[in-house]
Structure 1
Amino acid sequence: MFSKILALALGVLTLADAHQVPLRAGSDVDVSTPTGAQDATIFSLVYGIPLTQYVIFADSIANKSSGQWTTNSILHETTLANATYRAIVRPNVDTLYSESLIDLSVNDVVATMPAVEGRFFVWPFYDVYGNNFCNIGTATSSRAGKYLVKYSPANPGCIASDTGEYAGTINMPTPYGAAVLRIEVDNTTDADYVVSSIQRTFTIVPQAVDRPQVAPALTRSLLNDGLDVNDIPLYIMQLTARIAPFNLPEESKDVAWVTSVLQLAGISDGPYSQPSGVDLPTAYSAALAEINSIETRGFFTSFGNGWSALRADVSGDFHGHYNVRAFVALEGYMQLNITEALYPLYEVDQTFFSNQSYTVEFYGKPQVLAFWSLTIYDEQGYMVPNDLNRYSLNNRGSMTYPNGTLISETPADSGARFYMLLQSTDYPASPEWESNWLPTPADGKVFNFLMRFYRPENSLFDGTYEYPKVTAVEVNPPIPSAL
C-alpha cells in the first residue's frame, strides 16, 4: 500500500518474514538479552516514525514564513493545496488550511474561533505524534470565542464551557503539537472571500503562565540539527531520543512500559545510544513489516466494491495502537477523527499505474452533512501536476451526470448514477469526459486515490450506501448511458 511505496522510496526493503513485535501494553519484549534490545528497537522505530512527519510539517511552516521559525501563531494558506504543496502528505483541495506549530513547554496558548455561519470548518488539534485528540468547529457545534490550550497529559481532550472567559479548554497530551484549521471553499472566488473575510479572524497567541518548564523549547535546531538524515533508521532513533522523553504516550497506562522499552532501545534523556548487538537496518525492515501488517490484521472495515477504511476506534486518535499511528503518519499525517471525516481507500493492497485508465461508477451521491471528494495522488502522496490544475472531483463543482446535468444541482440524496474518468495526462480527456476527468501522472507512473466524506452520515457505515465500482477501461471510453 502507500506505506510500502514510501518504504521503497526510502530505499529500504520490507521483509515479509521479519519478526513482528507486539505493539500494545503487555508487550513480551525481553528486557534482559540482546534480542530484547533488537525487539525494543523495532518498537521504537514504529513509535518514532510519526515524529519524522512532524518535522516535515514544522519545517514547511518555517519555509512559508520567509524562513522564520515561529511557534504559537497561525500561518494562513491563501491558496488551495496544489502540486507544490508539501506540508503534509495527501492534503485535500476542498479546504483552505491554516497551520500552527504549538509549543507548550513554557507558555499556554489562546486560540480564538469566530462565529462562522453556513460553512463547514473544523479546527483540529494534534499531539506531536499526530493524534487528533480535540476538534472544535461545525461538527461539534463549538461555541465561538477563546479556547485555552494547555499541557494536561492526565486529561487530554476538549472541555466545553458555557460561562467564563473561555468557551472551552483544550488539554494537550504532549507539550509539542499542532493545529491545522480547515475551512470549506467552493472555488477560487469563494477562496478569495474566505481569505479576506473569515480566515484571518481565527487566531492563536501565547499566554504566559506561572509553572515550571516541562520540555526544551521547540526550535528548528531541536528538530533538525545534528541528526543523521541520510540514515533513515538512525535518524528516527535520534529524533525519538530528543522528543519522546518529554512527549509521553497519550495513554497514561502506557507511559511506564513504553518508557522502559525505549530505554532498552537506547532512548532516554539525551542522545540516542545504540545498544551492542542491535542491527538497525534489519530492525527498520521489521518495523515497516509491522506497520504494513495492519492491512491484514482486522484494522480495516470493508464497505464493499473494494472500498474499506480504518475502524472508527483507530481513526484520527490512535491511543495505544502505535502501529496504526505510524501507518497513518506515512499515509496521511494529521488525519481527522471519523466524526469529522471518513477516508475510504480502494483495494488497500492494490497499486495503480497511469498507463491504464479507470472509471469510477457512483450509484448515487454519497450522503454527507458537509461535502465529499475523490483526490488523486502521486507515488509520494502529493498532487499530480496537470494543465487544468485539477486534483480532485467533488459534489460542488462542474462534474455532470451522463445527460449533462450538473451533479451539484441535484438533491443530496439523488440516486442517479454518474462516472469519473481516472486517466493519464498523456491522454487528455475527450470533450464528453472533460468535466469528470481526474488526471493521473504521465509516463505510466504509480498513483493512488482517496475519497473523503466530511461529516459522513450513517448510510456510509451501515451498508445502506453502495460504494462506487472501479473498472479498468480503454482510453476515453464511451460514457455509459444515463441510468
Structure 2
Amino acid sequence: MSSDAAQDLEDAYVYAYPLVLMDTIRAMVTNTETPTADRAPLNQLFHSRDLATPALHSLTRPNVDTLYSQAYLDLGEEPYLLFKPETDRYCSIQPFDGYSNTPAVLGTGGVGGNDAVTYALIGPRFDGALPENVIPVPVSTDFVWLLLRVRCFGPPDLEEPRKIQDSMDLYPLSQHGEEHTYPRGSYTPDLDYVPVQHLQKMDACEYFDRFNSLVASNPGAPEDQPALDRFAALGIGAGLTFDPASLPKSVQERAGQLPGFMGSSKVNESRRMTAIDGWIYLDESIGNFGTKYLYRARIAHGGFANPVDVTAYPSTQVDSGGEPLTGTKTYNLHFEPGQLPPYGDWGWWSLTAYSASGQLFDNELDRYAIDDSQDLTLNDDGSLDLWISATNPGRGRERNWLPVRPENFGITLRIYFPHVSVNTHDWMPPKVTVVPSTEPQAVTQ
C-alpha cells in the first residue's frame, strides 16, 4: 500500500467511474421484458421513434437532429452481428467499450460508410472465425454500448429514418444464416431509477464491489497496469474484496466522501477543455482517453460524446460579459456573412439549449433546436441572427428563435463532420450578446 492510500482510493473511484456508470445505466435500460422506445433486454436494439423532447431522461444533453437507436451488449459468450442497411442520409454507429472509449466510428463518415454492411462486435477473448463479408469491430471489453444516430429533418421527416431503424438487425454469431430469436427479458421495479442519481447514492463498498465484479470481464488497457497495481493494494480489482474496515482511517474517511466526488470543484477545475470567448471545446482525446482518467470520468458524468473530428461541440453557459445565461434575458448570436459553422460531406450544424441538469426545455413552439436545414431568415447582407429567450422575441424574429425557460441554461453548437478550422479554432462561433432590455420585445402571435 502506498504512502497516500487515500489518494489511491480517490484515483480508483475515478478510474472505475465510466464502467460503473454505464453498467448502472445498462441495468436500468435493460430492465424490461420486451423492447420499447427507450428500453430493451440485453443484446437487443431499441429505437427512439421520435426526436428528443423534454420527456427524454435516458440521455443527458441529447441532440434533436437524429433518431437514436441503442443496445447494450455482453460479448462474453460470442460476438454480436449488427446489420445496417444502405442509406442516403447520415447514419452513424458509435460503439463504446466499458471505459467509454470509441474503438471505431461506423457508418456515415466511418467504416462501411453508407453501404449496406454487417459488422461483428468482437470481445477480447474471441478467437473463432467470422462469416465472409462481415466487418470485424474488435472491442477490448465484453461490455459494449451501441449508440446509433439517423438524421431526421424534423417531425415531417420521421418516416424515412424509421424505415432505416426497422431495417437494422442485431443477433449473436451463432444465429448467422438462421432465423433470429430475441429472448424475453425481465422487469424489476427496484431498477427504475435515474442512473446518475442512483450512482451518487452508492456508497464506496457497493461501488467497488460492482467494479470488482465487472473488471474481471472488462480488463483495462496495458497502460492501466500501474494504476491497477496501486488499486489492488486496497482490495480493488478483479477477484478482490474491498473492505474499508481493514484500511487506514484516512482511507475510510475518504471512502465516505466519494459518492459526491464527481460534482466537486476538484473535478470541475481539472477539465481538459479549451475556453475561448466563453465557448468551451472538448479535448481531442474524446473517444480515446488513454490514461486521462479524470477527464474520462468527467465526460462520462456530464454526457458521452462523439470524437471531436466526427462532431464538434462548442458549448457555453455564459454571455459575452462572462455572466451566466438566464432565460430572464434575451440573447443574440450574430453570424457574419460567410461565417456560418463550416462542415464537410454529410455534415450540418445545430444549436440546442439545455437546463442545468442537461434536459431540453418545454416551450410554446415545441422547438428544441435550430439547425441549418430549417427555413431561417437571413439578413440582406447574408448574415444570420439567432435569438435565445424565454419570451417570444417578436418582430419577425420567431423563425430564428430558440426558446428557453426563465432559469439558468447552457447552449451547445453541434457541428457534424466539422471543417478542420473548427477544432483548430481558426473558425469561432460568435459571442453570445445580451439584447438591451430597452429594445422593444413585441410578441408575435
TM > 0.5: yes
Q: Which amino acid aligns with 2:121?
A: V
User: 2:79 is matched with which residue: 108, 114, 122?
Assistant: 108
Counting aligned pairs with the same residue, the percent is 22
Q: 1:283 to 1:321 in 2, by over 3 A?
A: same
Spell out the pairing of 1:226-265 with structure 2 (5 A cutoff).
231-234=201-204, 235-249=206-220, 251-254=221-224, 256-265=225-234
- Give the whole-Å Cα distance in 1 for the aligned partners of 2:13 and 2:213: 14
Matching residue of 2:422: 460
CA change 1:446–1:244 in 2 (3 A) is farther
Q: Residues 476 and 121 of structure 1: is their aligned pair in 2 closer, same or farther, counting only changes over 3 Å?
A: farther
Unaligned runs of 5+ in 2: 176-184
**SS in structure 2 at match of 1:393:** strand
Is the CA contact (8 Å cut-off) linking 1:98 and 1:180 kept in structure 2? Answer: yes
Aligned to 2:178: none
Q: Does 1:149 align with 2:117?
A: no
Of the structure 1 ranges 415-424 and 84-93, higher mean CA displacement relative to structure 2 is found in: 415-424
Offset of residue 245 of structure 1: 3.5
TM-score with structure 1 length normalisation? 0.75
Q: CA deviation at 1:140?
A: 1.7
- 2:200, 2:260 within 8 Å by CA — same for their partners in 1? no
| Distance apart, 1:81 and its partner CA | 0.9
Change (3 A) 1:270 1:113: same
Counterpart of 1:381, as a letter, is: G
Give a deviation string over 1:459-480, Cα, whole Å, max 9, x none.
223444242121122459469x
Judge which range, 285-294 or 365-374, deviates more.
285-294
Q: Call closer, same or farther: CA 1:352–1:242 in 2, change over 3 Å.
A: farther
Residue 433 (structure 2) aligns with: 471
Higher relative contact order (CA 8 A, sep 6+): 1
Of 252, 255, 278, the residue aligned with 1:306 is 278
Partner amino acid for 2:50? T
Change (3 A) 1:347 1:294: farther
Corresponding position: 1:368 with 2:343: yes
Residue in structure 2 matched with residue 294 of structure 1 by the alignment: 270
Q: In the aligned structure 2, how far is the partner of 1:146 from the partner of 1:193? A: 20
- Report 1:270-349 matches (<5 A): 272-274=242-244, 275-277=247-249, 278-279=252-253, 280-283=255-258, 288-295=264-271, 299-302=272-275, 304-312=276-284, 314-333=285-304, 335-346=305-316
The residue matched to 1:177 in structure 2 has which SS? strand
Shift of 1:418: 1.1
Over the residues paired in the alignment, what is the CA RMSD in angstroms? Answer: 3.2
SS of the residue corresponding to residue 354 of structure 2 reads strand
TM (normalized to structure 2)?
Answer: 0.81
**Change over 3 Å in CA distance of 1:289–1:357 after alignment to 2:** same
Paired residues for 1:10-49 under 5 Å: 31-33=1-3, 35-36=4-5, 38-49=6-17
User: What residue in structure 2 maps to residue 172 of structure 1?
Assistant: 139
String of CA shifts for 1:241-286, please: whole Å, max 9, x gaps. 332343122x3221x2232233234323265422342212435566
Structure 2 residue 414 is the aligned partner of structure 1 residue 421: no
Output aligned runs, 1:216-227, within 5 Å. none
CA distance in 1, matches of 2:61, 2:125: 29
Q: Which runs of 5+ in 1 are unaligned?
A: 1-30, 156-162, 210-217, 404-414
- Structure 2: distance between partners of 1:219 and 1:151: 25
Deviations 1:12-31, CA, capped at 9 Å, x for gaps = xxxxxxxxxxxxxxxxxxx2
Is 1:202 equivalent to 2:165 in the alignment? no
Q: How far off is 1:69 after superposition?
A: 5.5
